[in-house]
Amino acid sequence: MKFVAAALLAVAASWMLAGSAAGQAAGVKVVVNGVDVPLAVPAVVFNGQVMAPIAGLFEPMGAIAAFYETDRSIVVTNRVRTTVVFWLNETAALVNGQPRSLPVAPALLGSQVFVPVQATFALLGAWARFDETDRAVFVNSQITGITPQVSAGALQVAVDATGPMQVETNVISNPDRLVVDFINATLRTQERLYAVSDAGVDRIRTAQFQVKPYVSRMVFDLNQPVEVSITTAPTSYLVTLQVRPKGSAPWQAPEGASKGSPLGRSANPVKVTGVSFQPDGQAGRITVDSTGSMDYKIREFMFPDRLAIDVQNAVFIPVKREISVDGTSVVAVRAAQFTARPPVTRIVVTLKRKLNYIINQSAGRLTIDLSTNTAARGHLVAIDPGHGGEDPGAVGPSGLREADVVLDIALRVRDLLAHDGIRVLMIRDSDTTVDLADRPRVARESGSTIYVSIHANASPRAAVNGTETFFLTPQSLVLAQMIQDELGVVLGIPSRGIKTANFVVLRDNDIPSVLVETAFISHADDELRLRDQAFRQHVAEAVHHGIVRFLAIYPVPQQAP
């Protein structure tokens, strides 16, 4: 592997030193979802694989990457929780803990980490191809599932993909058709024709309409004029089309659903057709099959440890399913109809000890990968409830104090981590004053390996609400994304994503550090949620699981106690 890195370095150096128009012309472009990625240094071709630096490479695919010098690992993760881990000068890789291999090992060239472009994007579920004529790697999202359903006179079409998509619509006459183009998307579904005969639509036809750039086309053959609306899910790559006869009443999502969520796309329940368990060492994989995309919520219970996956708006066709495992970590898996109105299917995993889990969704299937997280027990997690003592923080419309709310949430996170056997340092565990500069200092001097500051947001605009997570350094990016992923899935309020900020607690830390804004205490509804004990527990569980996911892939620094 050292020879590979040295050879690749020689190739890259020859290109980088050229510094001329001819040298630039010889370079290889990387085009991701139509974006010509501005690479930090030129890409190179080695053994038939395009190697490119990771900086900015994955963002157009809705993913992020970080390099950790401690164990020379590269971590790439996206918003549907696919996490790829590989190492410098090694062809071995892990995708959500499952072993994979790369055709060429990543390499450190100067200060830049180079990875094999086609192979890495393929592990994320994307389509990638090197075009020798254009001297470019083209990478696209893939459409993996199309699920049309009719309800209340409206047609909802759920389009599952492996990455973000740009959607354009156009109405064509003689004959009347609605054309929906998914730009920079590769069609990978088996079925290409869908009969509808309702909501003004006779049928839907799909095809790979164009290449260079790739365009997947969906044509609705119409029997009357229609209106179309498009929503996207903030925590997945799901696109939902709603088509209804022009002038008809807008379709209303069922109670509890939000526009753009998987549940919000249809009032008809999805049918869960099966649940299975496959052992894998000390843990295993749970597979949930259904007739369409599933909206789910995760709950963790203790005494005994249990993991509950609630599939919303779902009917469990087998009625009841019990799988006795009696393994090292997993006792049993049970599935049944949890509630009838609204219909919720619940899968309960009974555990002998707390396990880490990663959930992935494809068309009509959920997979829950369980794994032990004993490596996380070498870490010391600093939890910092913001404000306190003389500083109440922001105050809500009805007088709720930020300092009180975030302390309660932080203590819940502490208890969840402690139950996992993970050591926790509380920057404050009561309503006391801690100087801002002392917070990161205490974490540093105690040997903390990650730092999580918990806050409740505020805005002079009373209508602003939702959750967001801030970071500053590249090593903190993945931690921020994983925590925000969990908050976005669990809380049912807008996910405002991850953002950078030059906060003292982020700037003065040399370990992965984030600041979590749980909700807007200045927003009347968010303040009401923050008063609710169940909501606080959901926040704590989301933050906890994001931390555990990160610790599962982040090595314990050698200097840590």
Task: Dump pLDDT digits (tens) for 187-225.
Answer: 999 889 999 999 999 999 999 999 888 999 999 999 999
| 7-16 pLDDT tens trace | 555 544 444 4
pLDDT at position 558, please?
63
The per-residue pLDDT for 479 is: 96
Helices (H) and strands (E) in the chain, counts: 9, 38
SS3 68: strand
Q: Residue 541 catalytic?
A: no
Strands 44-46 and 283-290: unpaired
Buried/exposed 108-124: b ≥16 CB within 10 Å, e otherwise = bbeebbbbbbbbbbbbb
* Residue 153 pLDDT: 85
List pLDDT tens digits, range 259-270: 333 333 345 788
Catalytic residue among 402, 468, 486, 517: 517
* pLDDT score of 373: 61
Percent with pLDDT over 70 in the chain: 90
Which percentage of the chain shows pLDDT scores above 90? 62
| Domain boundary assignment for the chain | 2-124, 141-265, 270-372, 376-553
As beta bridge partners, residue 347 has: 309, 335
**CATH tag for 376-553 (out of 3.40.50.410, 3.20.20.140, 3.40.630.40, 3.40.50.150):** 3.40.630.40
Average pLDDT over the chain reads 87
Residue 131 has which token pair?
């075009």
pLDDT of the residue at 299: 78
Across-strand partners of 385? Answer: 454
Q: Answer whether 243's CB lies under 8 Å from 200's CB.
A: yes
Q: What value does the mean pLDDT take over residues 531-560?
A: 87
Mean pLDDT of all residues in 358-386: 81
Going edge to edge, which strands form the sheet with 193-198? 166-172, 177-183, 215-222, 201-210, 193-198
Q: From the options 3.40.50.1820, 3.40.50.2300, 3.40.190.10, 3.30.457.10, give the CATH code of 2-124.
A: 3.30.457.10
Closest CA to 337 of 352, 319, 357, 356: 319
Q: What is the CA radius of gyration of the chain?
A: 25
The C-alpha atoms of residue 365 and residue 362 are separated, in whole angstroms, by 5
The sheet carrying 44-46 orders its strands as 44-46, 49-53, 112-116, 107-109
Among 150-154, 272-276, 339-343, 355-359, name the one with the lowest average pLDDT: 355-359
Please give the average per-residue pLDDT across 169-174, as a whole number.
89
C-alpha–C-alpha distance, residues 111 and 109, integer Å: 6
pLDDT at 560 over 70: no
For the residues 106-115, what does the mean pLDDT come to? Answer: 93
Domain 270-372, CATH: 2.60.40.3500
141-265 is classed CATH 2.60.40.3500: yes
Which phi and psi (to 5°) does residue 194 adopt?
Answer: -130, 120
Q: Residue 19 pLDDT more than 50?
A: no
How confident is the model over 47-59, as a mean pLDDT?
92
In terms of pLDDT, which residue wins out, 354 or 284? 284
pTM (2 d.p.) = 0.75
Tell me how far apart the 2 most distant CA atoms of the chain are, in Å.
Answer: 74
Q: Which of 366, 361, 360, 402 is nearest to 385 (CA)?
A: 402
Extract the tokens encoding 479: 């931690």
Q: What is the pLDDT of residue 260?
A: 35
Domains 141-265 and 270-372 share a fold: yes
